């Protein structure tokens, strides 16, 4: 029997944010067990907490319904909320396949089972996306308002700019054509008209047709905006995602410059919505 909880990441109110299932004490589960559980639950991601191996607080494995990810934002934020609630911790080091990252948690006293989490994110490998014309066609778009570039932080995010919120809401991707773009997520973004940014993410290649909150893309979006003159290093940007799905999610992100390259951070609220036990 394995205890688990479900946390809505990047939300505070009921039925907002992106749900992740967090399984505790999973050292006895092998890769096949974890992949099967993630497929059965069929959330966009499921995490499995294990004993640390490299000096961190915990090792965390992350699975979509179809594959394992080296790093992901909303699952790790939700895991930090779950462990803060379960263990009373306010700072953790998570060992992931992409490296070890620090998570700071501030619990919200006025809202039980709710916390704000600030996370470090991997420094991405940035490249021009070679299949840009095919990707735009799959998204039903004629052009992008910024260079179509890929930011590899474990999951590979490809950013496509659209004109405004109305145009973003009209994006209707051909999911079959988009699925031919292996191992990537397409992220359409635009200004929200109020000083922040709106985002939609489509990734049938990762088993997720559309995602309500893509935390691992928050820091890369901040860097993308900096690189193309739409934001400044050190500036905190506000991102809203999931509106078109009825799952409004809000993220903060910052790109900072350092000698060895950009340092990315992302943050947001999460709240625990369910607990249970799984017999396996």
Query: Which residues does the annotation mark as catalytic?
Result: 45
Contact 229, 82 (CB under 8 A): no
278 DSSP β-pair partners? 2
Which pair of tokens denotes residue 55? Answer: 């000096």
Burial of 30-64, coded b for 16+ CB within 10 Å and e otherwise, reads: eeeebbebbeebebbbbbbbbeeeeebbbbbbbbb
Spatial separation of the C-alpha atoms in residues 253 and 69, rounded to whole Å: 21
């Amino acid at each position: 029997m394995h205890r688990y909880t479900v946390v809505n990441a990047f939300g505070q109110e009921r039925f907002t944010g992106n749900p992740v299932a967090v399984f505790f004490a999973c050292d006895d589960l092998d890769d096949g067990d974890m992949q099967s559980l993630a497929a059965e639950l069929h959330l966009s991601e499921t995490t499995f907490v294990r004993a640390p191996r490299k000096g961190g607080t915990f090792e965390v494995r992350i699975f979509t319904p179809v594959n394992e990810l080296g790093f992901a934002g909303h699952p790790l934020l939700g895991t930090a909320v779950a462990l803060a609630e379960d263990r009373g911790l306010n700072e953790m080091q998570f060992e992931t396949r992409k490296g070890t990252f620090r998570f700071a948690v501030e619990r919200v006293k006025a809202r039980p089972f709710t916390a704000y989490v600030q996370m470090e994110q991997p420094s991405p490998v940035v490249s021009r996306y070679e299949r840009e014309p095919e990707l735009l066609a799959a998204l039903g778009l004629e052009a992008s308002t910024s260079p179509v570039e890929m930011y590899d932080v474990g999951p590979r995010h490809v950013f496509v700019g659209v004109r405004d919120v109305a145009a973003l809401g009209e994006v209707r991707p051909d999911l079959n054509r988009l699925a031919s773009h292996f191992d990537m997520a397409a992220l359409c973004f635009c200004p929200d008209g109020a000083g922040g940014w709106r985002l939609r993410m489509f990734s049938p290649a990762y088993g997720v047709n559309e995602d309500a909150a893509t935390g691992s893309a928050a820091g890369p979006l901040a860097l993308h905006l900096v690189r193309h003159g739409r934001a400044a290093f050190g500036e905190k940007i506000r991102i809203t995602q999931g509106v078109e799905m009825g799952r409004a999610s809000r993220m903060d992100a910052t790109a900072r410059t350092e000698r060895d390259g950009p340092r990315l951070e992302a943050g947001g609220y999460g709240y625990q919505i369910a607990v249970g036990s799984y017999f396996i």
